[in-house]
């Protein structure tokens, strides 16, 4: 290849690398340092420069190894998510290389320099189209999908890709028109199938988000229903207040001080029971805690709640709802298994201090925990519907680049979450 051909091919490959780099960043979160960004770009550039024909097993493996190193080394998402995303994106890159090579053969481009330039240009155009189609979908999958779903989709994609590559190995040196057309159709269908898979991801993600929003809406509706019920109870108490005062006066007239105190205590308890508690300024958290406080009372769980949260946090209302709801629900489930009510307790603390959101919950327990690869397995019968609470919380904490610490022994379980919370935007 002459100097002109090398320069043009290099420029086009740099553009291709830039698109792949943005595609990686759409699905994963890169470590925010310039050296990591530069090194990851160079590594992706070397993967894009590798020529791959259909069935070229060696360079396919090299491409996967390079992309895997990039994903594992330069990005900071959970390891399983990094590996799964790399597998899916690398299959797109390799498929595009195979497709562009066969298109050039089909177009009967014989000049060696022009063939390399044409392949690089076709690859860049295809990857650009893939990026434009997948960019918005990537936002959904990055925020919502659990590690299990990522693993399922990547295994499905990788196994299909491997079967395709193995099936076309016999055609690697055959460049006749009908072979080119067959491989072009196969690789095009694979790329379209991968894109379709990501749109399935979007539908799943939207379903997950809708579930979170429905939970939040139910909490708010419950809060308003509680307020309405309390207002009705308040009107009833006020209506009966004249009668209550009459009864107390009768006790006092008969000099039955103990009876008057007992009756007054009963009236006070009734008034206290209809009062909505204000745990903090944050409306969502306040609604959740009011709702859960009823469970604490009904289940004889001793609850200590110390919340100092402003109405604004950097965490979205949906994610805040998930953190509090999932952790408190898990704590309630653990306490329900304790036979002695005196040993049931839940301590909840949360604040925003020095620019950080800090959340701590501790509860008593007696059940044995089953842990597999840092995943807590549920002891409920319906394994499909339960057991995702901790994973959801970990995913949310990871989304905000926060830290989560989980500690437990035979008698207690605790979670500490720390997430950076910048100041609210100033009003214009």
Give the per-residue pLDDT at 39. 87
Regarding pTM above 0.75, the answer is no
Q: Which two tokens stand for residue 196?
A: 């379709």
Give the per-residue pLDDT at 414. 93
What is the residue-wise DSSP string for 79-147? Answer: HHHHHHHHHHHHHHHHHHHHHHHHHHHHTT---HHHHHHHHHHHHHHHHHHHHHHHHHHHHHHHHH--H
Give the per-residue pLDDT at 346. 95
Enclosing H/E stretch for 304:
strand 302-308
Contact 348, 361 (CB under 8 A): yes
Give the residue among 361, 359, 356, 360 at the shortest CA–CA distance from 419.
356
Share of the chain above pLDDT 90, in %: 10
Give the per-residue pLDDT at 274. 57
Cα–chain-centroid distance for residue 353?
25
Contact 166, 106 (CB under 8 A): no
Enclosing H/E stretch for 47:
helix 34-49
Give the per-residue pLDDT at 208. 62
Contact 139, 31 (CB under 8 A): no
Render the burial of 6-37: b for 16+ CB within 10 Å, e for the rest.
Answer: eebbeebbebbbbbbbebbebbbebeeeeebe
**Which residues, including other chains, have CB under 8 Å from residue 120's CB and lie 6 or more apart?**
9, 12, 13, 16, 100
Alpha-carbon distance of 188 to 236, in angstroms, equals 71
Q: Which two tokens stand for residue 238?
A: 């006020």
Indicate the pairing of strand 375-377 with strand 370-372: antiparallel
Find residue 408's DSSP bridge partners: 413
Q: What is the pLDDT along the chain (428 residues), one digit of tens a residue?
A: 677 778 888 888 899 889 888 888 888 878 777 787 888 889 888 888 887 765 567 788 888 888 888 888 888 777 777 888 888 888 888 888 888 888 888 887 666 667 778 888 888 888 888 888 887 777 666 666 666 677 777 787 778 778 877 777 676 667 778 878 888 888 888 888 878 877 776 776 666 666 656 665 665 566 556 666 666 666 676 667 777 778 888 888 888 888 888 888 887 776 665 556 778 888 778 878 887 887 898 899 999 999 988 877 888 877 888 888 889 988 998 899 999 989 999 999 999 888 899 999 999 998 776 665 555 555 554 333 334 567 778 878 888 888 999 888 888 999 999 998 765 544 44
Enclosing H/E stretch for 59:
helix 57-74
Q: What is the pLDDT of residues 167-197, one digit of tens each?
A: 776 766 677 788 788 888 888 888 888 788 7
Q: Residue 305 — left, alpha, or beta (φ > 0 → left; ψ -120 to 50 → alpha)?
A: beta
Give the per-residue pLDDT at 217. 63
Give the per-residue pLDDT at 306. 93
Give the per-residue pLDDT at 428. 42
Helix (H, G, I), strand (E, B) or coil at 349: strand
Contact 307, 321 (CB under 8 A): no
Cα–chain-centroid distance for residue 238?
48
Give Rg (Cα) of the chain: 30
Give the residue among 252, 261, 307, 258 at the shortest CA–CA distance from 284.
307
Give the residue among 123, 117, 104 at the shortest CA–CA distance from 6.
117
Q: CA triplet 346, 350, 355: central angle to 5 degrees?
A: 160
């Amino acid at each position: 290849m002459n100097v002109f051909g090398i320069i043009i091919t290099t420029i086009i490959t740099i553009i291709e690398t830039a698109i792949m780099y943005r595609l990686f960043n759409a699905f994963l979160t890169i470590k925010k340092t310039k050296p990591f960004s530069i090194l990851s770009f160079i590594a992706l550039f070397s993967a894009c420069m590798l020529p791959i024909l259909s069935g070229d097993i060696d360079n396919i493996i090299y491409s996967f190894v390079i992309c895997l190193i990039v994903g594992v080394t330069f990005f900071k998402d959970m390891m399983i998510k990094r590996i799964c995303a790399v597998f899916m994106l690398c299959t797109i890159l390799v498929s595009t290389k195979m497709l562009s090579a066969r298109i050039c053969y089909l177009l009967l481009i014989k000049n060696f320099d022009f063939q390399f330039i044409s392949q690089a240009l076709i690859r860049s155009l295809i990857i650009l189209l893939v990026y434009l189609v997948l960019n918005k979908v990537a936002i959904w999958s990055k925020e919502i999908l659990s590690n299990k779903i990522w693993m399922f989709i990547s295994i499905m994609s990788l196994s299909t890709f491997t079967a395709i590559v193995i099936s076309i190995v016999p055609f690697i040196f055959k460049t006749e028109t009908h072979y080119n057309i067959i491989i072009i159709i196969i690789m095009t269908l694979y790329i379209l199938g991968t894109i379709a898979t990501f749109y399935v991801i979007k539908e799943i993600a939207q379903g997950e988000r809708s579930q979170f929003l429905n939970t939040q809406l139910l909490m708010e509706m419950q809060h308003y229903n509680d307020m309405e019920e309390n207002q009705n109870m308040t009107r009833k108490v006020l209506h009966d207040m004249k009668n209550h005062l009459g009864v107390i006066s009768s006790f006092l007239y008969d000099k039955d001080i103990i009876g008057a105190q007992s009756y007054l205590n009963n009236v006070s308890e009734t008034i206290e029971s209809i009062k909505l508690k204000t745990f903090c300024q944050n409306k969502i958290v306040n609604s959740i805690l009011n709702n859960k406080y009823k469970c604490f009372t009904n289940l004889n769980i001793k609850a200590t709640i110390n919340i100092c949260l402003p109405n604004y946090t950097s965490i979205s209302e949906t994610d805040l709802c998930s953190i509090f709801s999932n952790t408190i629900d898990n704590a309630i489930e653990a306490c329900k298994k304790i036979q002695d009510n005196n040993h049931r307790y839940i301590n909840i603390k949360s604040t925003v201090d020095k620019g950080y959101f800090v959340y701590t919950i501790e509860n008593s327990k007696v059940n044995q925990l089953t842990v597999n690869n840092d995943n807590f397995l549920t002891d409920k019968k319906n394994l499909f519907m339960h057991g995702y609470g901790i994973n959801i919380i970990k995913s949310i904490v990871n989304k905000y680049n926060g830290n989560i610490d989980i500690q437990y022994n035979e008698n207690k379980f605790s979670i500490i979450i720390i997430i950076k919370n910048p100041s609210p935007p100033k009003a214009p």
